[in-house]
Structure 1
Amino acid sequence: MPLDTDLVEVARRHLPEPVADRWIGLLRPGLWLRKALPGESVVARLGGLPELPRDVGWPRWKGQGWLGFVAAIDCGSLPADSLDIALPGDGTLLFFYRDRDEVVGTWAPETQAGARVTYVPAGVPTSPRSTPSGVPTYREVALTAEAIVTGPDWDHPAFRASITDLAPEHRAFMDDYRNRDDFAWALSDLVGRPWHGVGGHADPVQGPVEMDAAQVVLGGRADWTGPAVHEEAQRWVLLAQIDSDEEANMCWGDVGTLYWLVRPADLRARDFDRAVFTWQCG
Protein backbone atom coordinates (compact mmCIF):
# COMPACT_ATOMS: atom_id res chain seq x y z
CA MET A 1 0.00 0.00 0.00
CA PRO A 2 1.15 3.55 -0.60
CA LEU A 3 3.08 5.73 1.75
CA ASP A 4 2.29 9.43 1.75
CA THR A 5 5.46 10.06 -0.28
CA ASP A 6 4.10 7.79 -3.03
CA LEU A 7 0.84 9.73 -3.22
CA VAL A 8 2.62 13.07 -3.21
CA GLU A 9 4.91 11.94 -6.02
CA VAL A 10 1.95 10.83 -8.15
CA ALA A 11 0.17 14.13 -7.56
CA ARG A 12 3.28 16.16 -8.44
CA ARG A 13 3.81 14.12 -11.61
CA HIS A 14 0.23 14.30 -12.94
CA LEU A 15 -1.28 17.53 -11.65
CA PRO A 16 -0.36 21.21 -12.08
CA GLU A 17 1.45 22.42 -8.98
CA PRO A 18 -1.43 24.48 -7.51
CA VAL A 19 -3.90 21.61 -8.06
CA ALA A 20 -1.45 19.09 -6.60
CA ASP A 21 -1.02 21.28 -3.51
CA ARG A 22 -4.78 21.29 -2.90
CA TRP A 23 -5.07 17.51 -3.42
CA ILE A 24 -2.13 16.78 -1.11
CA GLY A 25 -3.72 19.00 1.53
CA LEU A 26 -6.73 16.65 1.60
CA LEU A 27 -4.80 13.42 2.29
CA ARG A 28 -6.27 11.48 5.21
CA PRO A 29 -5.20 8.47 7.28
CA GLY A 30 -7.03 5.20 6.81
CA LEU A 31 -6.74 1.51 7.58
CA TRP A 32 -6.36 -1.17 4.93
CA LEU A 33 -7.83 -4.48 6.07
CA ARG A 34 -6.01 -7.31 4.33
CA LYS A 35 -5.83 -11.05 4.86
CA ALA A 36 -3.97 -11.79 8.10
CA LEU A 37 -0.83 -13.87 7.74
CA PRO A 38 0.11 -16.44 10.41
CA GLY A 39 1.11 -14.65 13.61
CA GLU A 40 -0.43 -11.30 12.63
CA SER A 41 -3.04 -9.57 14.79
CA VAL A 42 -6.61 -10.26 13.63
CA VAL A 43 -8.79 -7.15 13.84
CA ALA A 44 -11.67 -8.05 11.55
CA ARG A 45 -13.12 -10.87 9.51
CA LEU A 46 -15.18 -11.38 6.43
CA GLY A 47 -18.05 -13.85 6.39
CA GLY A 48 -18.66 -16.71 8.77
CA LEU A 49 -21.33 -16.26 11.43
CA PRO A 50 -22.04 -13.04 13.34
CA GLU A 51 -21.84 -12.89 17.14
CA LEU A 52 -25.08 -11.24 18.25
CA PRO A 53 -26.59 -10.45 21.65
CA ARG A 54 -29.59 -12.59 22.63
CA ASP A 55 -32.01 -9.67 22.33
CA VAL A 56 -30.81 -8.55 18.88
CA GLY A 57 -32.59 -10.15 15.94
CA TRP A 58 -31.02 -11.02 12.63
CA PRO A 59 -31.42 -7.91 10.42
CA ARG A 60 -34.28 -8.07 7.95
CA TRP A 61 -35.54 -5.89 5.09
CA LYS A 62 -39.28 -5.77 5.65
CA GLY A 63 -41.09 -7.19 2.68
CA GLN A 64 -37.89 -8.45 1.05
CA GLY A 65 -36.16 -10.81 3.46
CA TRP A 66 -33.14 -11.39 5.63
CA LEU A 67 -29.83 -9.61 5.07
CA GLY A 68 -26.55 -11.47 4.60
CA PHE A 69 -23.69 -11.13 7.09
CA VAL A 70 -20.70 -9.48 5.40
CA ALA A 71 -18.05 -8.54 7.97
CA ALA A 72 -17.18 -7.89 11.62
CA ILE A 73 -14.67 -5.29 12.81
CA ASP A 74 -13.27 -5.43 16.34
CA CYS A 75 -12.92 -1.75 17.20
CA GLY A 76 -10.83 -2.47 20.29
CA SER A 77 -8.18 -4.22 18.19
CA LEU A 78 -7.86 -1.50 15.57
CA PRO A 79 -5.04 1.06 15.73
CA ALA A 80 -7.81 3.66 15.96
CA ASP A 81 -5.37 6.42 16.91
CA SER A 82 -4.17 6.13 13.30
CA LEU A 83 -7.52 7.48 12.08
CA ASP A 84 -9.15 10.92 12.03
CA ILE A 85 -12.68 9.60 12.68
CA ALA A 86 -14.07 8.84 16.14
CA LEU A 87 -14.49 5.07 16.00
CA PRO A 88 -15.60 3.39 19.22
CA GLY A 89 -12.63 2.42 21.36
CA ASP A 90 -14.07 -1.06 21.89
CA GLY A 91 -16.95 -3.27 20.83
CA THR A 92 -17.70 -4.76 17.43
CA LEU A 93 -19.21 -3.37 14.23
CA LEU A 94 -21.22 -5.90 12.22
CA PHE A 95 -22.07 -5.22 8.57
CA PHE A 96 -25.06 -6.77 6.78
CA TYR A 97 -26.26 -6.49 3.17
CA ARG A 98 -28.97 -8.19 1.12
CA ASP A 99 -27.21 -9.29 -2.07
CA ARG A 100 -30.25 -10.48 -3.99
CA ASP A 101 -32.32 -9.38 -6.97
CA GLU A 102 -33.73 -6.38 -5.10
CA VAL A 103 -31.25 -3.53 -5.69
CA VAL A 104 -30.25 -1.20 -2.87
CA GLY A 105 -29.99 2.13 -4.66
CA THR A 106 -29.28 5.69 -3.58
CA TRP A 107 -31.99 6.82 -6.01
CA ALA A 108 -34.52 5.00 -3.79
CA PRO A 109 -33.81 5.89 -0.14
CA GLU A 110 -36.33 3.32 1.11
CA THR A 111 -34.00 0.55 -0.10
CA GLN A 112 -31.47 1.54 2.58
CA ALA A 113 -33.23 -1.15 4.64
CA GLY A 114 -31.27 -3.61 2.51
CA ALA A 115 -28.06 -2.85 4.41
CA ARG A 116 -27.29 -2.42 8.10
CA VAL A 117 -24.54 -1.62 10.60
CA THR A 118 -24.98 -3.12 14.07
CA TYR A 119 -22.75 -2.02 16.95
CA VAL A 120 -22.27 -4.44 19.84
CA PRO A 121 -20.59 -2.72 22.82
CA ALA A 122 -17.81 -4.49 24.67
CA GLY A 123 -18.98 -6.62 27.58
CA VAL A 124 -22.36 -7.47 26.07
CA PRO A 125 -22.79 -11.28 26.03
CA THR A 126 -23.05 -12.66 22.49
CA SER A 127 -23.17 -16.00 20.72
CA PRO A 128 -22.80 -17.13 17.09
CA ARG A 129 -26.08 -16.83 15.21
CA SER A 130 -26.99 -19.30 12.46
CA THR A 131 -27.74 -17.84 9.05
CA PRO A 132 -31.43 -17.91 8.09
CA SER A 133 -32.40 -20.35 5.38
CA GLY A 134 -31.87 -19.10 1.84
CA VAL A 135 -29.53 -16.26 2.79
CA PRO A 136 -26.12 -16.16 1.04
CA THR A 137 -23.17 -17.05 3.27
CA TYR A 138 -19.55 -16.10 2.77
CA ARG A 139 -16.36 -17.91 3.66
CA GLU A 140 -14.63 -16.63 6.77
CA VAL A 141 -11.40 -14.71 6.14
CA ALA A 142 -9.38 -13.20 9.01
CA LEU A 143 -8.11 -9.67 8.40
CA THR A 144 -5.35 -7.55 9.87
CA ALA A 145 -4.94 -3.75 9.59
CA GLU A 146 -2.25 -1.60 8.04
CA ALA A 147 -2.16 2.17 8.59
CA ILE A 148 -2.12 3.96 5.24
CA VAL A 149 -2.60 7.41 3.74
CA THR A 150 -5.51 7.97 1.35
CA GLY A 151 -6.34 10.64 -1.20
CA PRO A 152 -9.65 11.97 -2.55
CA ASP A 153 -11.23 10.95 -5.83
CA TRP A 154 -10.90 13.35 -8.78
CA ASP A 155 -14.55 14.37 -8.39
CA HIS A 156 -14.60 14.34 -4.59
CA PRO A 157 -16.68 17.37 -3.51
CA ALA A 158 -14.04 18.57 -1.03
CA PHE A 159 -11.35 18.44 -3.72
CA ARG A 160 -13.59 20.27 -6.19
CA ALA A 161 -14.41 22.91 -3.58
CA SER A 162 -10.72 23.40 -2.82
CA ILE A 163 -9.81 24.47 -6.37
CA THR A 164 -12.56 27.00 -7.10
CA ASP A 165 -10.21 29.96 -6.58
CA LEU A 166 -7.43 28.68 -8.84
CA ALA A 167 -6.53 30.21 -12.20
CA PRO A 168 -8.77 29.41 -15.19
CA GLU A 169 -6.14 27.24 -16.86
CA HIS A 170 -5.95 25.03 -13.77
CA ARG A 171 -9.71 24.70 -13.54
CA ALA A 172 -9.74 23.84 -17.27
CA PHE A 173 -7.18 21.11 -16.57
CA MET A 174 -9.55 19.66 -13.97
CA ASP A 175 -12.46 19.63 -16.43
CA ASP A 176 -10.53 17.57 -18.99
CA TYR A 177 -11.26 13.99 -17.97
CA ARG A 178 -8.37 12.63 -20.00
CA ASN A 179 -6.19 14.11 -17.26
CA ARG A 180 -8.31 12.38 -14.64
CA ASP A 181 -7.76 8.99 -16.24
CA ASP A 182 -3.96 9.30 -16.23
CA PHE A 183 -4.02 10.36 -12.58
CA ALA A 184 -6.48 7.63 -11.57
CA TRP A 185 -4.46 4.88 -13.24
CA ALA A 186 -1.30 6.05 -11.52
CA LEU A 187 -3.07 5.99 -8.14
CA SER A 188 -4.59 2.56 -8.79
CA ASP A 189 -1.10 1.12 -9.25
CA LEU A 190 -0.45 1.92 -5.57
CA VAL A 191 -3.57 0.22 -4.20
CA GLY A 192 -3.60 -3.36 -2.95
CA ARG A 193 -6.47 -5.69 -3.84
CA PRO A 194 -8.90 -6.57 -2.49
CA TRP A 195 -9.29 -3.16 -0.85
CA HIS A 196 -11.23 -3.54 2.39
CA GLY A 197 -10.84 -0.49 4.58
CA VAL A 198 -11.88 1.63 7.55
CA GLY A 199 -11.81 5.43 7.55
CA GLY A 200 -9.86 7.65 5.21
CA HIS A 201 -11.03 8.36 1.69
CA ALA A 202 -13.02 5.68 -0.10
CA ASP A 203 -11.67 3.93 -3.17
CA PRO A 204 -14.68 4.50 -5.46
CA VAL A 205 -15.46 2.51 -8.58
CA GLN A 206 -17.72 5.05 -10.28
CA GLY A 207 -17.31 8.38 -8.52
CA PRO A 208 -17.49 9.88 -5.04
CA VAL A 209 -19.51 7.71 -2.67
CA GLU A 210 -20.17 10.80 -0.57
CA MET A 211 -22.34 12.06 -3.44
CA ASP A 212 -24.31 8.81 -3.22
CA ALA A 213 -24.87 9.44 0.50
CA ALA A 214 -26.06 12.95 -0.25
CA GLN A 215 -28.61 11.60 -2.73
CA VAL A 216 -30.08 9.36 -0.05
CA VAL A 217 -30.48 12.28 2.35
CA LEU A 218 -31.94 14.52 -0.35
CA GLY A 219 -34.56 11.98 -1.43
CA GLY A 220 -32.79 10.33 -4.37
CA ARG A 221 -33.82 12.84 -7.03
CA ALA A 222 -31.50 15.81 -6.43
CA ASP A 223 -29.53 17.42 -9.27
CA TRP A 224 -26.09 15.76 -9.21
CA THR A 225 -24.48 18.98 -10.45
CA GLY A 226 -26.32 21.26 -8.04
CA PRO A 227 -24.85 22.85 -4.92
CA ALA A 228 -27.17 20.99 -2.52
CA VAL A 229 -25.67 17.59 -3.37
CA HIS A 230 -22.09 18.87 -3.16
CA GLU A 231 -22.69 20.61 0.16
CA GLU A 232 -24.41 17.59 1.70
CA ALA A 233 -21.72 15.22 0.39
CA GLN A 234 -19.07 17.06 2.37
CA ARG A 235 -20.88 16.19 5.62
CA TRP A 236 -20.17 12.45 5.19
CA VAL A 237 -17.10 10.31 5.81
CA LEU A 238 -16.30 6.70 5.03
CA LEU A 239 -16.92 4.28 7.87
CA ALA A 240 -15.93 1.10 6.03
CA GLN A 241 -15.75 -0.43 2.60
CA ILE A 242 -15.80 -4.13 1.70
CA ASP A 243 -14.46 -5.10 -1.69
CA SER A 244 -15.30 -8.14 -3.77
CA ASP A 245 -13.09 -10.93 -2.43
CA GLU A 246 -12.65 -14.26 -4.19
CA GLU A 247 -11.34 -16.02 -1.08
CA ALA A 248 -14.46 -15.03 0.88
CA ASN A 249 -16.68 -15.89 -2.12
CA MET A 250 -17.88 -12.28 -2.26
CA CYS A 251 -18.66 -10.62 -5.58
CA TRP A 252 -20.75 -7.47 -5.48
CA GLY A 253 -22.35 -7.02 -8.89
CA ASP A 254 -19.61 -6.83 -11.52
CA VAL A 255 -16.70 -7.17 -9.04
CA GLY A 256 -17.79 -4.07 -7.14
CA THR A 257 -17.47 -2.67 -3.62
CA LEU A 258 -19.82 -2.03 -0.69
CA TYR A 259 -19.53 1.26 1.24
CA TRP A 260 -20.96 2.48 4.54
CA LEU A 261 -20.77 6.21 5.30
CA VAL A 262 -21.60 8.23 8.38
CA ARG A 263 -21.72 11.82 9.57
CA PRO A 264 -18.96 12.53 12.13
CA ALA A 265 -21.49 13.69 14.76
CA ASP A 266 -23.50 10.46 14.40
CA LEU A 267 -20.31 8.43 14.68
CA ARG A 268 -19.34 10.21 17.91
CA ALA A 269 -22.86 9.53 19.23
CA ARG A 270 -22.58 5.83 18.19
CA ASP A 271 -25.77 6.30 16.17
CA PHE A 272 -25.09 3.72 13.47
CA ASP A 273 -28.75 3.57 12.50
CA ARG A 274 -28.07 6.84 10.66
CA ALA A 275 -25.26 5.38 8.56
CA VAL A 276 -25.86 5.35 4.80
CA PHE A 277 -25.02 2.51 2.43
CA THR A 278 -24.05 2.52 -1.23
CA TRP A 279 -22.33 0.16 -3.62
CA GLN A 280 -20.61 0.57 -6.95
CA CYS A 281 -19.33 -1.76 -9.63
CA GLY A 282 -17.70 -1.47 -13.03
Structure 2
Amino acid sequence: MKDWMIDFAELAREELPPETAERLIGLLRPAIRLSAAEAGETVVGRLGGLPKLPDGMAWPSLSDGDRPLSFLAELDCGALARYEVDISLPDAGTLLFFATTDANEHQVIYVPHGTAVAERPAPDDRVEVYAELPLAATTEPTWPPRDHPVLVDVFGSLQEAEETVWHHVLDEDTLEVFEEQLRLFEDGGKDGPPHQVGGYSDALQSPIEAVAAHAAGTGSYGDPAFQEEARQWVTLLQLAEDGRTGMLWGDDAWLIWGIRRDHLAARDFSKVHLHVAGH
Protein backbone atom coordinates (compact mmCIF):
# COMPACT_ATOMS: atom_id res chain seq x y z
CA MET A 1 0.00 0.00 0.00
CA LYS A 2 1.28 3.45 -0.88
CA ASP A 3 2.22 5.80 1.93
CA TRP A 4 -0.44 8.40 1.16
CA MET A 5 -3.16 5.76 1.57
CA ILE A 6 -2.11 4.19 4.87
CA ASP A 7 -3.73 6.48 7.45
CA PHE A 8 -7.05 6.61 5.61
CA ALA A 9 -7.07 2.86 5.05
CA GLU A 10 -6.48 2.26 8.75
CA LEU A 11 -9.40 4.54 9.62
CA ALA A 12 -11.75 2.86 7.15
CA ARG A 13 -10.80 -0.68 8.23
CA GLU A 14 -11.16 0.19 11.90
CA GLU A 15 -14.57 1.82 11.61
CA LEU A 16 -16.38 0.17 8.68
CA PRO A 17 -17.40 -3.39 7.83
CA PRO A 18 -14.64 -5.10 5.82
CA GLU A 19 -16.40 -5.12 2.46
CA THR A 20 -17.46 -1.48 2.77
CA ALA A 21 -14.01 -0.41 3.89
CA GLU A 22 -12.31 -2.07 0.91
CA ARG A 23 -14.74 -0.55 -1.56
CA LEU A 24 -14.12 2.91 -0.12
CA ILE A 25 -10.34 2.42 -0.04
CA GLY A 26 -10.51 1.32 -3.68
CA LEU A 27 -12.02 4.69 -4.58
CA LEU A 28 -9.15 6.74 -3.12
CA ARG A 29 -7.33 9.05 -5.50
CA PRO A 30 -4.02 10.83 -4.84
CA ALA A 31 -4.14 14.62 -5.11
CA ILE A 32 -1.41 17.21 -4.91
CA ARG A 33 -2.25 19.62 -2.09
CA LEU A 34 -0.71 23.04 -2.57
CA SER A 35 0.41 25.18 0.36
CA ALA A 36 2.54 28.26 0.94
CA ALA A 37 6.17 27.31 0.32
CA GLU A 38 8.44 27.62 3.35
CA ALA A 39 12.19 28.21 3.18
CA GLY A 40 13.94 25.22 1.64
CA GLU A 41 10.81 23.63 0.17
CA THR A 42 10.54 22.86 -3.53
CA VAL A 43 8.41 25.49 -5.28
CA VAL A 44 5.93 23.90 -7.71
CA GLY A 45 4.06 27.00 -8.76
CA ARG A 46 2.58 30.22 -7.45
CA LEU A 47 -0.57 32.16 -6.97
CA GLY A 48 -0.81 35.75 -8.17
CA GLY A 49 1.93 38.09 -9.29
CA LEU A 50 2.45 38.73 -13.00
CA PRO A 51 2.39 36.00 -15.66
CA LYS A 52 5.32 34.89 -17.79
CA LEU A 53 3.82 34.76 -21.27
CA PRO A 54 5.38 33.47 -24.49
CA ASP A 55 6.91 36.08 -26.74
CA GLY A 56 4.30 37.46 -29.11
CA MET A 57 1.29 36.13 -27.16
CA ALA A 58 -1.34 38.74 -26.35
CA TRP A 59 -2.53 39.08 -22.76
CA PRO A 60 -5.60 36.77 -22.41
CA SER A 61 -8.92 38.60 -22.61
CA LEU A 62 -12.68 38.04 -22.74
CA SER A 63 -13.91 36.03 -25.68
CA ASP A 64 -15.08 39.27 -27.33
CA GLY A 65 -11.72 40.93 -26.61
CA ASP A 66 -13.39 43.68 -24.61
CA ARG A 67 -11.56 43.25 -21.31
CA PRO A 68 -8.33 41.53 -20.17
CA LEU A 69 -8.48 38.63 -17.72
CA SER A 70 -6.66 38.56 -14.38
CA PHE A 71 -3.79 36.14 -13.74
CA LEU A 72 -4.47 33.67 -10.93
CA ALA A 73 -1.93 30.87 -10.89
CA GLU A 74 1.05 29.18 -12.51
CA LEU A 75 1.85 25.47 -12.16
CA ASP A 76 5.31 24.10 -12.90
CA CYS A 77 4.52 20.75 -14.49
CA GLY A 78 8.12 19.56 -14.25
CA ALA A 79 8.19 20.17 -10.50
CA LEU A 80 4.76 18.58 -10.02
CA ALA A 81 5.95 15.45 -11.84
CA ARG A 82 7.78 14.44 -8.64
CA TYR A 83 4.47 13.95 -6.82
CA GLU A 84 1.98 11.14 -7.30
CA VAL A 85 -1.38 12.30 -8.63
CA ASP A 86 -4.26 10.67 -10.46
CA ILE A 87 -4.11 12.80 -13.62
CA SER A 88 -1.64 12.79 -16.52
CA LEU A 89 -0.11 16.25 -16.34
CA PRO A 90 2.55 17.25 -18.86
CA ASP A 91 5.96 16.24 -17.54
CA ALA A 92 7.42 19.68 -18.32
CA GLY A 93 6.30 23.21 -19.12
CA THR A 94 3.88 25.43 -17.22
CA LEU A 95 0.13 25.92 -16.94
CA LEU A 96 -1.20 29.46 -16.58
CA PHE A 97 -4.68 30.17 -15.23
CA PHE A 98 -6.57 33.40 -15.98
CA ALA A 99 -10.12 34.49 -15.14
CA THR A 100 -12.31 37.52 -14.70
CA THR A 101 -12.62 38.80 -11.14
CA ASP A 102 -16.11 37.26 -10.98
CA ALA A 103 -14.78 34.07 -12.66
CA ASN A 104 -17.47 34.16 -15.36
CA GLU A 105 -14.84 33.74 -18.07
CA HIS A 106 -11.46 32.07 -17.94
CA GLN A 107 -8.56 30.75 -19.96
CA VAL A 108 -5.94 28.07 -19.30
CA ILE A 109 -2.68 28.29 -21.25
CA TYR A 110 -0.08 25.54 -21.56
CA VAL A 111 3.45 26.81 -22.20
CA PRO A 112 5.73 23.95 -23.37
CA HIS A 113 9.19 23.61 -21.88
CA GLY A 114 11.79 25.67 -23.73
CA THR A 115 9.35 28.34 -24.91
CA ALA A 116 10.76 31.85 -24.64
CA VAL A 117 8.71 33.75 -22.05
CA ALA A 118 8.88 37.07 -20.26
CA GLU A 119 7.03 38.58 -17.32
CA ARG A 120 4.29 40.76 -18.71
CA PRO A 121 2.94 43.88 -16.97
CA ALA A 122 -0.83 44.21 -16.59
CA PRO A 123 -2.26 45.87 -19.72
CA ASP A 124 -4.50 48.27 -17.76
CA ASP A 125 -6.07 48.92 -14.37
CA ARG A 126 -9.03 46.63 -15.06
CA VAL A 127 -6.72 43.69 -14.33
CA GLU A 128 -6.59 42.58 -10.71
CA VAL A 129 -2.96 41.90 -9.77
CA TYR A 130 -2.97 39.54 -6.80
CA ALA A 131 -0.18 39.26 -4.26
CA GLU A 132 2.29 36.54 -5.22
CA LEU A 133 2.43 33.36 -3.11
CA PRO A 134 4.96 30.60 -3.97
CA LEU A 135 3.54 27.10 -3.57
CA ALA A 136 4.90 23.82 -2.23
CA ALA A 137 3.27 20.42 -2.66
CA THR A 138 2.52 17.10 -1.03
CA THR A 139 0.50 14.06 -2.10
CA GLU A 140 -2.60 13.39 0.01
CA PRO A 141 -5.53 10.99 -0.27
CA THR A 142 -8.89 12.20 -1.51
CA TRP A 143 -12.17 10.33 -1.48
CA PRO A 144 -15.42 10.99 -3.35
CA PRO A 145 -17.88 13.48 -1.86
CA ARG A 146 -21.31 12.12 -1.01
CA ASP A 147 -22.85 13.13 -4.35
CA HIS A 148 -20.11 11.89 -6.68
CA PRO A 149 -21.17 9.82 -9.71
CA VAL A 150 -18.50 7.18 -8.99
CA LEU A 151 -20.52 6.15 -5.92
CA VAL A 152 -23.32 5.05 -8.22
CA ASP A 153 -20.84 2.88 -10.11
CA VAL A 154 -19.54 1.21 -6.93
CA PHE A 155 -22.49 1.21 -4.51
CA GLY A 156 -25.42 1.22 -6.93
CA SER A 157 -26.88 4.56 -5.87
CA LEU A 158 -26.04 7.66 -3.87
CA GLN A 159 -28.58 6.61 -1.24
CA GLU A 160 -26.95 3.21 -0.78
CA ALA A 161 -23.53 4.84 -0.42
CA GLU A 162 -24.93 7.31 2.08
CA GLU A 163 -26.37 4.58 4.27
CA THR A 164 -23.47 2.14 3.85
CA VAL A 165 -20.60 4.59 4.37
CA TRP A 166 -21.41 8.02 5.77
CA HIS A 167 -24.34 6.97 7.95
CA HIS A 168 -22.78 3.73 9.17
CA VAL A 169 -23.34 3.77 12.94
CA LEU A 170 -20.17 3.39 14.99
CA ASP A 171 -21.71 3.54 18.44
CA GLU A 172 -25.29 2.49 19.12
CA ASP A 173 -25.35 4.44 22.40
CA THR A 174 -24.16 7.79 21.05
CA LEU A 175 -25.35 7.16 17.46
CA GLU A 176 -22.00 8.42 16.21
CA VAL A 177 -21.67 7.75 12.48
CA PHE A 178 -18.65 7.29 10.22
CA GLU A 179 -19.19 10.72 8.69
CA GLU A 180 -18.12 12.34 11.98
CA GLN A 181 -14.84 10.40 12.14
CA LEU A 182 -14.19 11.17 8.48
CA ARG A 183 -14.65 14.87 9.15
CA LEU A 184 -12.17 14.75 12.03
CA PHE A 185 -9.66 12.93 9.82
CA GLU A 186 -10.05 15.53 7.09
CA ASP A 187 -9.79 18.51 9.44
CA GLY A 188 -6.64 17.09 10.99
CA GLY A 189 -4.82 17.22 7.67
CA LYS A 190 -5.75 20.74 6.62
CA ASP A 191 -3.14 23.46 6.53
CA GLY A 192 -4.39 26.67 4.94
CA PRO A 193 -6.87 27.04 2.07
CA PRO A 194 -7.45 23.77 0.17
CA HIS A 195 -5.68 24.45 -3.12
CA GLN A 196 -5.29 21.21 -5.04
CA VAL A 197 -4.25 19.55 -8.30
CA GLY A 198 -6.01 16.32 -9.30
CA GLY A 199 -7.92 14.01 -6.99
CA TYR A 200 -11.54 14.54 -6.02
CA SER A 201 -12.30 18.23 -5.72
CA ASP A 202 -13.98 19.46 -2.54
CA ALA A 203 -17.49 19.75 -3.93
CA LEU A 204 -19.49 22.40 -2.11
CA GLN A 205 -22.61 21.76 -4.18
CA SER A 206 -21.87 19.30 -6.99
CA PRO A 207 -18.55 17.68 -7.98
CA ILE A 208 -16.92 18.94 -11.16
CA GLU A 209 -17.47 15.56 -12.84
CA ALA A 210 -21.24 15.86 -12.35
CA VAL A 211 -21.30 19.54 -13.32
CA ALA A 212 -19.46 18.81 -16.57
CA ALA A 213 -21.64 15.78 -17.37
CA HIS A 214 -24.79 17.84 -16.81
CA ALA A 215 -23.38 20.59 -19.06
CA ALA A 216 -22.86 17.98 -21.79
CA GLY A 217 -26.59 17.22 -21.71
CA THR A 218 -26.23 13.57 -20.72
CA GLY A 219 -29.04 13.37 -18.18
CA SER A 220 -28.49 12.71 -14.50
CA TYR A 221 -27.18 10.23 -11.94
CA GLY A 222 -27.70 6.64 -12.97
CA ASP A 223 -28.25 7.40 -16.66
CA PRO A 224 -25.64 5.41 -18.61
CA ALA A 225 -24.63 8.41 -20.75
CA PHE A 226 -24.28 10.62 -17.66
CA GLN A 227 -22.21 8.06 -15.77
CA GLU A 228 -19.93 7.52 -18.77
CA GLU A 229 -19.42 11.25 -19.36
CA ALA A 230 -18.68 11.85 -15.67
CA ARG A 231 -15.98 9.16 -15.80
CA GLN A 232 -14.16 11.16 -18.46
CA TRP A 233 -13.65 14.26 -16.29
CA VAL A 234 -10.94 14.97 -13.72
CA THR A 235 -9.94 17.87 -11.51
CA LEU A 236 -7.19 19.98 -13.06
CA LEU A 237 -6.96 22.65 -10.35
CA GLN A 238 -8.94 23.74 -7.32
CA LEU A 239 -8.37 27.21 -5.86
CA ALA A 240 -10.00 28.35 -2.67
CA GLU A 241 -10.34 31.95 -1.60
CA ASP A 242 -7.03 33.06 -0.07
CA GLY A 243 -6.71 36.28 1.89
CA ARG A 244 -2.90 36.13 1.63
CA THR A 245 -3.18 36.90 -2.08
CA GLY A 246 -6.37 38.95 -2.04
CA MET A 247 -8.21 36.29 -4.06
CA LEU A 248 -11.80 36.65 -2.91
CA TRP A 249 -14.70 35.71 -5.17
CA GLY A 250 -17.60 36.17 -2.75
CA ASP A 251 -19.52 33.75 -0.52
CA ASP A 252 -16.31 31.80 0.21
CA ALA A 253 -16.30 30.60 -3.38
CA TRP A 254 -13.81 28.13 -4.80
CA LEU A 255 -12.77 27.85 -8.43
CA ILE A 256 -12.55 24.30 -9.78
CA TRP A 257 -11.20 23.62 -13.27
CA GLY A 258 -12.17 20.26 -14.74
CA ILE A 259 -10.89 18.68 -17.94
CA ARG A 260 -11.72 15.57 -19.94
CA ARG A 261 -9.06 12.87 -19.79
CA ASP A 262 -8.71 12.79 -23.59
CA HIS A 263 -8.25 16.56 -23.79
CA LEU A 264 -5.62 16.42 -21.06
CA ALA A 265 -3.79 13.63 -22.85
CA ALA A 266 -3.82 15.73 -26.03
CA ARG A 267 -2.62 18.79 -24.07
CA ASP A 268 -5.74 20.61 -25.28
CA PHE A 269 -6.68 23.11 -22.59
CA SER A 270 -9.15 25.04 -24.74
CA LYS A 271 -12.19 23.14 -23.44
CA VAL A 272 -11.50 23.21 -19.70
CA HIS A 273 -14.69 23.64 -17.65
CA LEU A 274 -14.55 26.16 -14.79
CA HIS A 275 -17.01 25.62 -11.95
CA VAL A 276 -17.50 28.36 -9.34
CA ALA A 277 -18.53 26.62 -6.13
CA GLY A 278 -19.87 28.73 -3.27
CA HIS A 279 -21.26 27.97 0.17
Give the TM-score range, shorter chain.
0.7 to 0.9
1:34-59 Cα shifts (integer Å, max 9, x gaps): 10001211110000000001222222
Which residue is 1:77 aligned to? 79
Moved more, 87-96 or 53-62: 53-62
Q: Give the secondary-structure state (helix, strand or coil) at the position aligned to 2:23.
A: helix
Q: Give the alignment of 1:3-22 within 5 angstroms.
A: 3-12=4-13, 15-22=16-23
Structure 2 unaligned blocks of 5 or more? 169-175
Q: Match of 2:144, as an amino acid?
A: P
Q: CA deviation at 1:230?
A: 3.1
Q: Is the 8 A contact 2:166 2:179 kept in 1?
A: no
Alignment partners' CA distance in 1, 2:256 and 2:20 = 27
Report the alpha carbon displacement of residue 126 of structure 1 after superposing the two structures with TM: 0.9
State the one-letter code of the partner of 1:242. Answer: L
Quote the residue 1:123 is aligned against: 114
8 Å Cα contact 1:29-1:82 kept in structure 2: yes
Q: Which has the higher contact order (CA 8 A, sep 6+)?
A: 1
Rounded Cα–Cα distance in structure 1 between residues aligned with 2:210 and 2:42: 34
Does 1:253 pair with 2:250?
Answer: yes
- In the other structure, the counterpart of 2:132 is 140
Work out the CA distance in 2 between the residues paired with 1:216 and 1:252.
22
Q: Which amino acid letter does the alignment assign opposite residue 140 of structure 2?
A: I
Which ranges of structure 1 fall in alignment gaps of 5 or more residues?
105-113
Shift of 1:176: 6.2
1:226-253 C-alpha deviation (Å, 9 max, x unpaired) = 5133331111011111111111111232
Q: 1:156 to 1:257 in 2, by over 3 A?
A: same
Sequence identity, in percent? 37
Number of the residue aligned with 2:186: 188
Q: Which amino acid aligns with 2:264?
A: L
Matched residue, 1:27: 28
| Corresponding residue for residue 216 of structure 1 | 215
Q: Quote the residue 1:109 is aligned against.
A: none
- 1:53-68 equivalences under 5 Å are 53-63=54-64, 65-68=67-70
Change in CA separation of 1:213 and 1:135 when aligned onto 2, cut-off 3 Å: same
Aligned to 1:108: none
Instruction: Report what 1:47 is aligned to.
Output: 48
Q: Give the superposition deviation at 1:19.
A: 2.8
Matched, 1:161 2:144: no
Structure 1 residue 274 corresponds to structure 2 residue 271: yes
**Aligned-partner residue type, residue 108 of structure 2:** V
> 2:259 — aligned with what?
262
TM-score by structure 2 length?
0.84
Asked if 2 retains the 8 angstrom alpha-carbon contact of 1:90 and 1:121, the reply is yes
Per-residue CA deviation, residues 184-225 of structure 1 (Å, 9 max, x unaligned), is 62353133331111122212222312111212322xxx6444
Distance 2:258 2:147 in 1: 17
| TM-score for the superposition, normalised by structure 1 | 0.83
